[in-house]
Amino acid sequence: MRIDYHLHLEEGPYSLRWLDRTNVALQHFVPVAAPRHSLDWLKQSQALLQERLEKGAFSPFWIDLYLEEAERKGLQEVGIVDHLYRFTEARDYYYRHIDISDSDLGCLQKEWLDQVMIESIHHFTAAIEEAKKRWAKRGITLRLGLEADYFADGEEELRELLKLGNWDYVIGSVHFTEGWGFDNPDTQARFQTQDVPALYEKHFALIEREIRSGLFDFVAHIDNMKVFNYRPDENHLLHYYEHIARVLRECDVATEINAGLYYRYPVKEMCPSPLFLSVLARHRVPITISSDSHYPDDIGSYVAQNVETLLRHGYTEVATFEKRQRIMKPLKG
């Protein structure tokens, strides 16, 4: 079964690079009939971008481009999420738990947060609930999800925020360590001053707390500390992999095979790594499949390949979700 349970509608900051990438996505669906980089091409591209900007990420105009690509790639179920940090309702939560001090890191992260936190969670949930009907008419099941950052000792705040939506599932993510957003390209130089093995020890301790919190239906990209290729010899990480696999089984929480780091980041590797996946498979940890797309042309990326990967590891079922209940479905068929 081909599914994609972790993809996003939009993410800033709204740079010229963001504008160019959005233009690439639009022209994947509506090719401009003019020579590339000609004046006519630029004017037609501008018109498409203007329509996208005016209608917004939660419009049928944008959401249903994901539907077109889902059909093209043979997906049967899709879960659309957005990051909790996109929503203004979560401002106090992030202000309390990430570094927004007057330091260089804090100033950079506060600027980033203010650039991306521009939407209401209610507009998002309403848009996806409405889209479910349109997608069903085309034969694809659409689910409503949320990707929420986990912070140690922030469980009760997060529990209250999760009440703002009627979710089909909630993904737990760790993007910050001690207030530092370690997968932000603008902060990656910080790795050069860190004790990398100690970072991984802290990371997996936080992953364990995330799993045990009881807040999440599955946990995302559980080894994404490797995002910029700072990683000890994996033999030294194997005991963490074994421990996290046991905790996932004990708590009956699923995880994902996520392609995002493979095609969007320097590490060029799936999450989890091949070694980590072999450990999860041996412990029979439930797993779902994710492209981690942030644009409609990337939905379903590497899903077919990851179905085959899971089959080779002995998986016969994949995790899907509805109204916070996990439903295991055959990988084939």
Mapped to the 3 state alphabet, what secondary structure does 58-103 carry?
CCHHHHHHHHHHHHHCCCCEEEECCEHHHEHHHHHHHHHHCCCCCC
At residue 116, does pLDDT exceed 80?
yes
Question: What mean pLDDT comes out for the span 221-246?
Answer: 97
Q: Report whether 222 contacts 272 (CB < 8 A).
A: yes
Q: What is the pLDDT of residue 177?
A: 97
Give Cα 140 distance to the centre of its chain: 20
- Distance, in Å, from the CA atom of 242 to the CA atom of 231, rounded to the nearest integer, reads 17
Residue 254, pLDDT above cutoff 60: yes
Rounded to an integer, the average pLDDT of 38-63 is 97
In degrees and rounded to multiples of 5, residue 240 shows phi and psi of -65, -45
pLDDT in tens, 54-82: 999 999 999 999 999 999 999 999 999 99
User: How many other CB atoms sit within 10 Å of the CB of residue 33?
Assistant: 8
Residues 180 and 202: their CA atoms lie apart, in Å, by 12
Write down the mean pLDDT value for the chain. Answer: 97
Identify residue 98 by its one-letter amino acid code.
I
DSSP for 191-245 reads GGGS-HHHHHHHHHHHHHHHHHTS--SEE--TTGGGTTS----GGGTHHHHHHHH
Q: Which structure tokens are listed for 123?
A: 């507009």
Query: Exposure pattern of 155-165 as b/e (b: 16+ CB <10 Å)?
Result: beebeebbebb
Distance (Å, rounded) from C-alpha 275 to C-alpha 282? Answer: 11
Can you tell me the mean pLDDT for 194-200?
Answer: 97
**pLDDT tens digits, 166-195:** 999 999 999 999 999 999 999 999 999 999
Cα-flanking dihedrals φ and ψ of residue 150, to 5°?
A: -100, 130
pLDDT at 125 over 80: yes
Give the C-alpha separation, 201 to 138, whole Å: 46
Nearest C-alpha neighbor of 93 from the set 15, 176, 31, 21? 176
d(CA 286, CA 315): 9
The more confident residue out of 170 and 332 is 170
Q: Give me the pLDDT at residue 332, please.
A: 83
Q: Which pLDDT score, from 0 to 100, does residue 333 have?
A: 57
CA–chain centroid gap for 154, Å, is 20
Q: What is the pLDDT of residues 265-313, one digit of tens each?
A: 999 999 999 999 999 999 999 999 999 999 999 999 999 999 999 999 9
DSSP 254-289: EEEEE-HHHHHSTT---BS-HHHHHHHHHTT--EEE
Compute CA distances 56 → 50, 59, 67, 328, whole Å.
Answer: 10, 6, 16, 34
